[in-house]
Amino acid sequence: FLDHDITFTPLFNNEEGSGIKCCDDKTGQPLRDVQHPACFPIEIPTTDPFYQKYNQTCMHFIRSLPGKQTDCSFGYGEQSNQITHFHDASNVYGSSEEDAKELKDASEGLLKIENRKGRQLLPYDKDAGCGIPEEIRIRENLDCFRAG
């Protein structure tokens, strides 16, 4: 949990801003003909004890965006970070005032919660691009929680 407070590596996106797909959601196979250059799909054996239950034989793996050189010259790609490097709970409360206002209950300053099936949970992230492929989200009735 702590490492998510200090690192969030940016990834390549498609021109329209959606995530890059390295695997075909219908067949579960790596996309070979129209594969993005940043894709490095991980093939999963059909006999894998966990993933065979989900008929998944491919895992999306996308190369991270290279950061610029400290002197702004060309050279080897450097890793970059999208969030603060401080242990400040930004992965919970966000890295900006705008994020914090969206995540916190205005009256008490605590995280917003929703009651679902008798449990207090974080609100769902309404954006579709939370990292779970759409076919799996629909089939398994999954959603991602909204947090920093």
Q: Is 4 a catalytic residue?
A: yes
Among the options 4, 36, 85, 87, which is catalytic? 4
Residues contacting 19, CB < 8 A, separation 6+ = 11, 13, 60, 62, 129, 131
Three-state SS sequence of the chain: CCHHHHCCCCECECCCCCECCCECCCCCCECCCCCCCCECCEECCCCCCCHHHHCCCEECCECECCECCCCCCCCCCECCCCCCCCCCCHHHHCCCHHHHHHHECCCCCCECCEEECCEEECCECCCCCCCCCHHHHHHHCCCCECCC
- Residues marked active site are found at 4
